[in-house]
Amino acid sequence: MGIVSSGFRGRRSGNPALPPGQHETRDFPVLTAGPAPLIPLEEWEFFIAMENGRRLSWSWEEFMALPQDEITKDIHCVTSWSKLGTVWRGVSLDTLLEGVETTGGFTTAHSYGGYTTNVPVRDLLEGKAWVAWEFDGEPLERAHGGPARLLVPHLYFWKSAKWIHGLELTGKEAPGFWESNGYHLHGDPWREERYS
Ligand SMILES: Nc1nc2c(c(=O)[nH]1)N[C@H]1C(S)=C(S)[C@@H](COP(=O)(O)O)O[C@H]1N2
Ligand SMILES: [Mo]
C-alpha cells in the first residue's frame, strides 16, 4: 500500500492538528454564559482550597512574581471550532500546585461570576495547564476572561474557565456548570468526549 489519501479519513479534516469533527477558525469567538464580570487587579486573587481546610492565595502582585511560561497551543471548542497555535503567557499549575496535598485528586475551578468546571488534578500537572493573563502579547481581554483565565488546552475549551478565581480540591469529581448540563465530565477532544 502506498500513501492513503486524506479523502479516506472519515470525519477527519486532513489537518492532523484538528481533532475529529473540528474545523479551523482564524478569529477568536467569544462564548460566555451570562455577563462578563469586572475584576479590578487590586481585588483579584487566585486561591487554592485544599480538602484539609487549608487555603493558599496570591494577590495579582504575588502572582506576577511567580515564574511565567510562554505557551503556544491549539484550542478546541466543543461547538466545533479549533484555533491553532494560540500564544499565551501565564503561570503553570505545576508552580501553583507545588506542595499542595490532595487525597481525592479532583478539582472544581471557580470563576468570578459563578461559573464552575471540574478538572482532575492529573489534567492540570506536567505542563498541561496554566493560569493565563496574556494572549498574543497583550493583556487578556475581559471578554476572553481577563484579568486571567484557566488554560487547559488539551481538553475542550469550556474547561478553560474565564475570570478564574481559584481551584477547590475535591475528594470526588463534582460536575461543574456545563458538565451538569449535559457536557462530558472529562472533555478530551481527541476522544470526542463532547456530551455525557
Ligand atoms: N467563567 C466562564 N468561563 C468560561 C465560559 C463561561 O461562560 N464563563 N465559557 C466556556 C466555554 S463554553 C468556552 S468555549 C470558552 C470560550 O472562551 P472564549 O470566549 O475566550 O472563546 O470559555 C469557557 N470558559
Ligand atoms: Mo464552549
In a domain? residue 15: no
Q: Quote the percentage of the chain above a pLDDT of 90.
A: 90
pLDDT in the model for residue 5: 45
Q: Which ligand is nearest to the CA of 79?
A: 2
**Rounded Cα–Cα distance for residues 145 and 122 (Å):** 23
Going by alpha carbons, the residue nearest to atom 22 of ligand 1 is 158
- Tens of pLDDT, residue by residue over 93-115, are 999 999 998 889 999 999 999 99
In a domain? residue 12: no
CB of 141 shorter than 6 A to ligand 1: no
**Rounded Cα–Cα distance for residues 94 and 123 (Å):** 11
Q: How far, in Å, from the CA of 157 to the mean position of ligand 1? A: 7
**Rounded Cα–Cα distance for residues 65 and 119 (Å):** 26
In a domain? residue 6: no
Q: How far, in Å, from the CA of 160 to the mean position of ligand 2? A: 9
CATH of the domain at 163: 3.90.420.10
In a domain? residue 176: yes
| Dihedral over Cα of 43, 121, 66, 32: its sign | negative
Q: How far, in Å, from the CA of 77 to the mean position of ligand 2? A: 5
In a domain? residue 93: no
In a domain? residue 11: no
Residue carrying C-alpha cell 451538569: 180
| Residue 145 alpha carbon, nearest atom of ligand 1 | 20
Whole-structure pTM over 0.85, yes or no?
A: yes
CB of 157 shorter than 6 A to ligand 1: yes
In a domain? residue 142: yes
| Average pLDDT of the residues in 165-193 | 97
Question: 60: domain range?
Answer: 23-28+43-88+100-191
Q: Which ligand is nearest to the CA of 117?
A: 1
**Mode of pairing for the β-strands spanning 69-76 and 149-151:** unpaired
- Tens of pLDDT, residue by residue over 125-147, are 999 999 999 999 999 999 999 99
Residue carrying C-alpha cell 500500500: 1
* 146, 133 contact by CB (below 8 A): yes
* 50, 110 contact by CB (below 8 A): no
Domain count, the chain: 1
